[in-house]
Amino acid sequence: MAHGGRHDLHHPRPRLFRARTGGPRDDDGPKLLEHVLGWTLVVLLAVLVTRAGLM
């Protein structure tokens, strides 16, 4: 039988599993920060426009 199949898909050693808590991944840090800061700017601008009576 040729090489291949299900057994080749698995790593030969068991992997150590890290508990996922539902928080952002390590590589999503700057992207998440930009997203939060962008929405904060939108809300701040909406408050300023509303208080100035332009809307």
Confidence of residue 36 (pLDDT cuts 50, 70, 90): very high
pTM above 0.85, yes or no: no
Q: What mean pLDDT comes out for the span 21-42?
A: 82
Share of the chain above pLDDT 70, in %: 58
CB-based contact 19:11 (threshold 8 Å): no
Average pLDDT estimate for 5-13 = 58
| Average pLDDT value for residue range 31-46 | 94
Cβ-based neighbours of 32, under 8 Å, separated by 6 or more: 24
